[in-house]
Copies of this chain bind each other. A is one copy, B any other.
Amino acid sequence: MRYVEGVPKQVDHEQRRRHLAEAVFAVISTQGFEAVSLRDVAEQAGVSMGTVQHYFPTKQQMLLFALSHMRDRVLARLQTTVAALREPTRRDLIRAATAVMLPVDPAGREEACVNIAFFSAATVTPAYAEQLRNGYGRILTVSVANFREASRLGELRDGVDPEVEAPALYFLTQGLVGPILVGLYSPAEALALIDAQLDRLFRAGTHAASTADKPRP
């Protein structure tokens, strides 16, 4: 029988897989990565264990798909957040993107829990490491491009090298995730630290408003 691409018989195969991936996220962020079992995922998704096996032959493939779906989910949330800004400056874009990657709301916290779990697993599972390099490398590339554009537009202070400061701000953001998750640093402190760095990198008046109340128009 011929297999016609993109025309599912009864259900949307990929959507089911994404739904199961979301169940994986819920289990990881509530019970932990090591507690992920096919039975837990099935229960979380409201289906039987056999259904999970139907969409993922092995547990490894399920987790690997979940990781790639998490990458897509973070990128989508980044794009949505950025698109919601009205006439943003480069600083506004970078600030918003940074805030998305920090666990400041339930969605961000779930994503951070899942990502740190896969980072840990990636140290012994090369397939995870490759996927993480893909996702995080992509965001880093975009961040550097944003800084380059800001530099071209003259929004950066004198002497600020976008090739150095873009990765620095990006990895600083990543470094804040863990401490926030374990309660060593609060989201507010983290954002204050980010804003302090942005103040150092960008000229004054190159963004709408940082943390203060925005003045009436």
Contacts and interface: CB of A to CB of B under 8 A. Distances in A.
A41 to B, nearest CB: 15
A119 B122 contact: no
A182 B119 contact: yes
Interface of A: 29-35, 113, 116-117, 119-125, 128-129, 132-133, 136-137, 140, 161, 164, 167-168, 170-179, 181-185, 193, 196-197
Given A116-B123, A173-B175, 9 more contacts: A29-B123, A32-B121, A32-B124, A119-B120, A122-B182, A129-B181, A129-B182, A168-B196, A171-B185
A120 B33 contact: yes
* Copies held by the complex: 2
A183 B133 contact: yes
Given A32-B120, A123-B29, A133 B168 contact: no
A183 B134 CA distance: 11
Given A116-B119, A120-B120, A174 B181 contact: no
Given A171-B172, A172-B171, A197-B168, A179 B123 contact: no
A108 to B, nearest CB: 13
A125 B178 contact: no
Closest 4 A-B residue pairs measured CB to CB?
A175-B175, A174-B175, A171-B175, A34-B34
Contact of A167 (B119, B173, B193): B193
12 contacts: A32-B125, A33-B121, A113-B120, A129-B181, A167-B193, A168-B196, A171-B176, A171-B185, A171-B193, A172-B175, A174-B174, A174-B178
